[in-house]
Amino acid sequence: MARKSMREEIVEAAVDQFHTKGFSAAGVKDITDAAGVPKGSFYNHFASKEALGVVALERYGASRRLRELAAVDVAPLARLREHFEFLRDEITDYGFTRGCLFGNFGTEVVDHSDGIRAAVDGSLSAWMGLIGQAIAEAQRDGAIRTELDPPTLARFVVNAWEGAVIGVRVGRSQDCFDAFFEVVFGTLLAGPVHQDGEPAGV
């Protein structure tokens, strides 16, 4: 198997270093050491650490299984739940560390870098857009009550998720994830109800 390009090795190392240490604490030398390449080679591929941060966000986003949110062969609510279960399980497997790179950069870097702020904003907007589309599909299928605005609900769900991620990292427990799933999928994205308060179809 051919060796990955030096640029590819730097990008992969950067995602891991940024995710583990944070943007500020992960220096260029940390990244090139982790990639196994000379530090001097960094600037042959990237104008700055900020430029690498933008690429790292893109690479991280590509690993979020976002395409599965648009998979028409799976019911929209099942798609949404499976998506957040994947994200939950990944963070749980890391021992409630690392969190979400979008959220990490959003709290650490965006006040100091317009380039990274724009990249985080674009990443979150794309994510919310796919969630909103799945919610709209579920409404058309009659699985979610229709008075909820899909883009607004998608924004709330993502914000609730990012808050839950902070909570599990602080508490080192799954309690905030459990609350997220209970409220989002047990209430917000629950099916329509009859006038007597019973779920539709009961």
Give the pLDDT of residue 194. 47
Are 168 and 175 a contacting pair, CB within 8 Å? yes
Task: For Cα atoms 4, 38, 117, give the angle at the middle one, nearest 5 degrees.
Answer: 75
3-state secondary structure 22-65: CCCCCCHHHHHHHHCCCHHHHHHCCCCHHHHHHHHHHHHHHCCC
Q: Is 121 helix (H, G, I), strand (E, B) or coil?
A: helix
Give the DSSP H/E element, type plus range, for residue 187: none
Evaluate if pTM is beyond 0.85: yes
Low-confidence ranges of the chain (pLDDT < 70): 1-3, 193-202
| Range 155-193 burial, b when 16+ CB lie within 10 A, else e | bbbbebbbebbebbbeeeebebbeebeeebbeeebbeee
Domain ranges (residues) in the chain: 6-58, 65-188
Domain 6-58 has CATH 1.10.10.60: yes
Give the pLDDT of residue 129. 98
Sign of CA dihedral 35, 40, 45, 51: positive
Domain 65-188 has CATH 3.40.50.970: no
Q: What is the pLDDT of residues 70-120, one digit of tens each?
A: 999 999 999 999 999 999 999 999 999 999 999 999 999 999 999 999 999
Are 56 and 11 a contacting pair, CB within 8 Å? yes
